[in-house]
Amino acid sequence: MNKLLFKLFGKQIQGDQNKADTILEPQQGSFNDIVTNDAIPSQDLFADYTPPNYQKKNLQEIKSEKPVKEFLDRNHEAKGRMAGFECHTHDMLSIYLKDMRTEFRYSLDRMIQLAEMELLDLHSRKIEVGEDVPSMREKLDLQINQMARTIDEMRLNKELSVEDEGLIASPIQSFTKGYRLGMQDYFEQKSHFDFSIL
């Protein structure tokens, strides 16, 4: 046993080997002397210090977004007609309408967010102008009031969209009309189908 301990620790233990209070010490150097700087991995192995490569949109790009206008400008009747022809069941209409309401509300939320950013920008400019240029300050006040009214109007349209009123009324009606026409087209085509060719 002494030979094994000698090989492992480099020091022969004297006396009784069964004593619990015998402390074995390595013969040469400490742990820090044994471990070299080559054995310690670089910090770069565990952490990436390079900044992420974000493609930031500039403020003008963000302000030029018009999600509500894009939603309202779509041809909802044609979209509904295609959906009605493909699905040809009344049950699916409510699902499509629910999706439209959700998309419209999301578009309004985005517009509200953009308008609030613009409102914050206007407030910042008003603070920068200070009391030095009263005409510029009055212009900014008018713009701030107009932007606040626009935000209130968008929030009202979001609430009205629950009952299919407000700005969403026309797209909902157009889609519903198109869906019914698409179902009608499907059943007319099906009734004229010649089953003899099968």
Q: Is residue 98 part of a domain?
A: yes
The CA-CA-CA angle for residues 104, 109, 115, to 5°, reads: 125
Supply the range of the domain harboring residue 114: 59-193
Q: Is residue 153 part of a domain?
A: yes
pLDDT digits (tens, 9 = 90+) for 34-82: 555 566 767 666 666 666 655 555 555 555 678 889 999 999 999 999 9
Lowest mean pLDDT among 19-33, 96-110, 112-126: 19-33
Domains of the chain: total: 1
Rounded Cα distance, 75 and 67, in Å: 15
Q: Is residue 67 part of a domain?
A: yes
Q: Is residue 2 part of a domain?
A: no
Q: Is residue 70 part of a domain?
A: yes
Closest CA to 179 of 70, 95, 107: 95
* Percent helix, percent strand, percent coil in the chain, to nearest 5: 70, 0, 30
Rounded Cα distance, 63 and 120, in Å: 13
Three-state secondary-structure class, residue 189: helix
Q: Is residue 165 part of a domain?
A: yes
Q: Is residue 6 part of a domain?
A: no
Better pLDDT: 173 or 189: 173
If you average pLDDT over residues 154-183, what whole number do you get? Answer: 94
